[in-house]
Each structure stands twice: as structure tokens, then as C-alpha cells.
Chains A and B, each alone.
Chain A
Amino acid sequence: MMMPGKYLTFINRFSKTGQTGLIIVGIVFFMAIFAPLISVHSHKLSSGPPLSSPNGEHILGTDELGVDLWAQICFGSRISLVIGMGTALLAGSCGGLIGVLAAYSGGMTDRILMRIIDIITVLPDLPVMIVLAAFFGPGLINIIIVLSLFSWVATARIVRSQVLQLKEQLYIKSAETYGAGTWYLMKRHFLPEIFPLVAVSMIRLTGKAIVAEAGLSFLGLGDPASGSWGLIIHHATSFTGIYYTNFWKWWLIAPWIALTLMVSSLAFISRDFERFADPRMDRRKNRYQKQ
């Protein structure tokens, strides 16, 4: 578990790819927070000739309306982070709560919750997201809710199995016999144990949500006003004649690289986190042996 004041050794425990990932995610956070400061031009208004290639004035070029792409990328990182972290927080906390509830109450509640989790797990998520997005309409909040509806199950499953294991531990049992109440047990024993698990799955969720939002935006189902990276790709690919010109070399490549770097960095970080924070890794090893 993470101890305060040991951040350096903590970072050293990451693999090379994980450290690179941390740096890239850090840069993206920096871009998102200081977007108005580091981009000279407006991310919404035209600031130069349309479709100009990268030059001193516009370091990443401009799109078909002459809007600076670097500014769009900077402000787009905000959308990606909001969607990613919003979904991760909502889905992670709901999933965590439901997992604890299912494991702790057991019986009928557990059975019903597990059934729901099973159903959502087998549903292919993208088609359902498309249908929901089509019916509920685009919008950042809607997208976060739709993404969360599908993402909480993984967290809930992991948390549930962890709490089930904990419940059988002797120290929990003895705390119970000493008269520890549900809330005391939660706060003192369960939450500290499941927090790392939830945190790890939240990183996974962040990456997944960013990808899903990019996919929906690419299809034209995202929030048309958001200016997310997926939306830039959508505009670029819907531009007539994009295939026959050189415009894609900056218009499409910039958001593409931003998305790819962000998503792979998150994946590498969560891979490392899983390695040292998830006790289930051992279990997974056992499972392969069983099979």
C-alpha cells in the first residue's frame, strides 16, 4: 500500500513504460489546466487562413475554418479528462458501493445485483451506447452517464469478491464479536482495503471512457459543441476531399497522436498499478493453472 512521503520510491516501482505514461498524463493535465495560457489563438474562432499547414504562427496548422489546431488540442484535453475522470469517479464510486453492498448484505440483494452485473457484462457496450446516445441526445453529462452505466460492473465485481474474502478474515470476525457496527467496519477495515482496488479500476475506466467518447464523437454522436479530440477527428474525416489532399497530415494526425498517447499512457500506468496493488493478480495466475 502507498505510504505518504515515499513518492519517489513509489515512482521507482513503475516500469519504464509506466513512467513514460505518468509523464505524458502529467503533460496532458498541464495542457488542460493551462490551456488558455499556452495557446495563443482561440480554440473556437478563426485566427488564420483555413487549412494552413503547421508554421511559426500555428504550430499544428489550422482546420477548415482557420481555427488553430494546437489550441483545439489543448482545450480538447479538458474534455477528455472531464469525460474520463467523470466517468471513472461516477462508475468507480457506484461500482464500489454496489460491490460492497452486494457482498456485505448477501442473500437476495447479492443475487439480484449479480444478475444485473452479469447482464451488463455480456451486453456489447458500443451498440447499446450508440442507442442510448441516440435516444438521450448528445451532451457531456449524458455521455458520462451512458459510459458509467456500462463501466461500473467491472469495479463492482472486483470489489465484491474482495469484500467477500475480507468478511471471512479472522480480524473482521473478531471485530464483529467485539460489537463493531457496520459503519465502523466499513470505515476502519473495508474501505482502506478496497480503496486501492477501486483506484486501479478507475484508471482503467478513465482510459476506456476516453476511447468510448472518442468513438462516439467520431461517429458524430458526441456533444457537437465539446471540441473533444474525437470530434476533431470527426470533422477532419467528414471534410470532403480529405483523402485527396495533404490536410490530413496535420488536421487528423494531431488529435490522433494526442488520443493514442493518452490512452496508451493510461493503459501502461494501470498495468503497473495492477501489478502492485491488485491481490487478484495472484488469483488470476491460479486460474490459468486450474484451466
Chain B
Amino acid sequence: MSSTPPATPAATPASTPTAAGGSPAMQSRHLSVWFGKRKVLEDVNISFPANTCTALIGPSGCGKSTYIRTLNRLHELIPGAGLAGDVLHNGRDIYARDVDPVTVRLAIGMVFQKPNPFPSMTIRGNVLSGLKLSGMKRPNHDEIVEDTLRKAGLWNEVKDRLSHAAGELSGGQAQRLVIARALAVQPQVLLMDEPCSALDPASTLKIEETIRELAESITIIIVTHNMQQATRVSDYTAFFLAAENEPGIVVEQGATTEIFSNPQDPRTLDYVNGRFG
């Protein structure tokens, strides 16, 4: 376990999730985001305590995926992307002029909605692809492969066919392979953008177990449309909402148990009870 154990969610005041968690692993301050002239997020302030899992929930089109992509500087790769405010990782602004986006993306990994292993590589090749692509040097590749695949809960299923094509795997296995791939470059934060939305319930359950285990050693931020999933995997939750033709905002954030059992904002109450979205 980590040296600074995460605060018990219930003990944390709803509006300041970091109050008991020490300095946050990640934090966005007054973050606003644009696509061209269209503002899609406004003044988002969220802190992500180290070694916890935070769920970002909200209806489609409220900017959750956009937000998560600002956290490892993938947002800026879209033509016309704009941003104001700042994003801190370990207290440092990742958008500062002297910060190399490549190092940011290595420290803050990402898993996407659709499992995207590299089809031209083997299972083993996929796990190690981050090292190859980024030029990162780490010894003992065999160990890395076994270790990350175990963490991703896939080792037992693939240990005898590491040199097989990644295309052989089922959707759920491919998604866990992608998680292993993200872990191989030793990120401190793992962003997950609806990682289970393309998967069957059994695979979803496995991934959720994986997330719970990973959250003991790294910081996880997960976008999900599935309320039950948010309650199962996350310590904290932030609820995003966008009125029609308005940028998305964070309506409410806090400990997951609070958000779901005792939300302060009526819109949150309606959303978590499935009355809209």
C-alpha cells in the first residue's frame, strides 16, 4: 500500500475531495476548453487525490471526454483546439512552455473507449510498444510483460500465447491488453475514457476489478456513463453537465458515496437517479 493512504471517501467534505488526501496527483484550475470558437468546458476545478479513482459522470456531450483529453495534452492535437486555465500534475503545470508533451503523456497514460491494440504486433509486442514508441529504456522486458499483464488481469489467459497476434483477443481481453500496455511505461496517472462501453458484462466486471486493484498504486480518472460502475470503482465523483448550446460545467463533485446517496444539487439527484441523460 502507498505511504499516504487515500482518505476514506465518506469522511471527505463533498466540495473538496482533496481535503484529507494531501496534495493532489492531478488538478485542473479554472480550466476552459474550446474547439475553434465553440467553448465546450467552462471553469472546471477538480482535484484528483493520489492513488484514488475518480469517476467523471454526466450525459453525452457535456465535455467529459474532452476534459480527460486535456489532462494528458491529447486535446491539443485536434485542429482548432484551445484552452485556458491550467492543469497541474504533482503541482506542476503540464502546459508550461518548458514541458515536453511526450513526457506528460508518458506519466499520464490513457485507455480509450474502443480497445485499440496494435494489430500488426503480437501480444507481447503490444505490451512493450510504449517503450518502443517513446524510446523509453527499461530492462527486463519479460518481467515487465508478466507484471503488467498480471496487473491488468490478463496474464493467465495469454501467458502461453504471448507471440500470437493481438487481433486474436476478444474485446474484453484486448482492452485489458491495452491497460497493460499503458502500465508498461509506468504512468503515475491512468486516464480511462469509457473503457467498458464496448464490452460485455463479464469483461466489464474484470476491468472493474483491475481498476480497483490499480487504484491502490496509481491515480485513476475514469469517464463512465454507467452509474453502477461509478459507484463500484470510484472513490470520488465529479458530475458534468452542459445546458443546450452552453459549455459544460462541473455541477457537483465529492466522495462517490455522497454524490450518489446525498447529492447537494437537484440536477445531480435527478441524474444519478436516472431521470435524464
Q: Do these two chains interact?
A: no
